[in-house]
Chain A
Amino acid sequence: GAVVSQHPSRVICKSGTSVKIECRSLDFQATTMFWYRQFPKKSLMLMATSNEGSKATYEQGVEKDKFLINHASLTLSTLTVTSAHPEDSSFYICSATQGLAYNEQFFGPGTRLTVL
């Protein structure tokens, strides 16, 4: 199956700093990428949807100025958590879909963010 990578896999930062997480589709061109957040013992919550070359669509309650998403190419999307605070500590997961929207999504391995 198609492979999606994320970098870094784990990051620890101080409160107030910004953190960038990369999501790459390694062997296919991703028309759409998605970003999820998962808190301990909870399910995945969709944060935003992004299509290459256009602005991301954010879910209700997700601050677009805090979680900046850039989808500059068909193989790369980035999520920047700006001015991170301890409550932003979470497991961030991206996924990508190829071609038609009803195709299965391929998920990355996730990035564990800890804000001190």
Chain B
Amino acid sequence: DAKTTQPTSMDCAEGRAANLPCNHSTISGNEYVYWYRQIHSQGPQYIIHGLKNNETNEMASLIITEDRKSSTLILPHATLRDTAVYYCIVRVAGDMRFGAGTRLTVKP
């Protein structure tokens, strides 16, 4: 599976959009981009995934660049409860391999 690069940490003001970037320059054509988050001392929570097209669900939007070498997870109106570590994972199938992720802190 391709490796991903994410910023170590980010801050966001409550009520504003949180944009979390992820680089996956070695992604192959059949690899999906997944996003999970982990709130302190809990199991990871699935957020969204995509292959080529942009995706949106009730939690977030996923924007994948045309060359698929990077993506951005967008939380449209961040709340304090969105404070967590966000993981971007690229995979075809099978297990999830977690990197260090981005620690997002939403501030009042």
Contacts and interface: CB of A to CB of B under 8 A. Distances in A.
Same assembly? yes
Contacts, number: 53
A101 B100 contact: no
Interface range for B: 20 to 34
Contacts of A67: none
B91 A102 contact: yes
23 contacts: A4-B43, A32-B94, A34-B95, A36-B98, A43-B87, A43-B99, A44-B44, A45-B98, A46-B97, A49-B94, A49-B95, A91-B41, A93-B43, A95-B44, A101-B93, A102-B32, A104-B49, A105-B46, A107-B44, A107-B46, A109-B42, A110-B42, A110-B43
Contact of B96 (A1, A4, A105, A109): A105
Interface of B: 32, 34, 36, 38, 41-46, 49, 87, 91-101
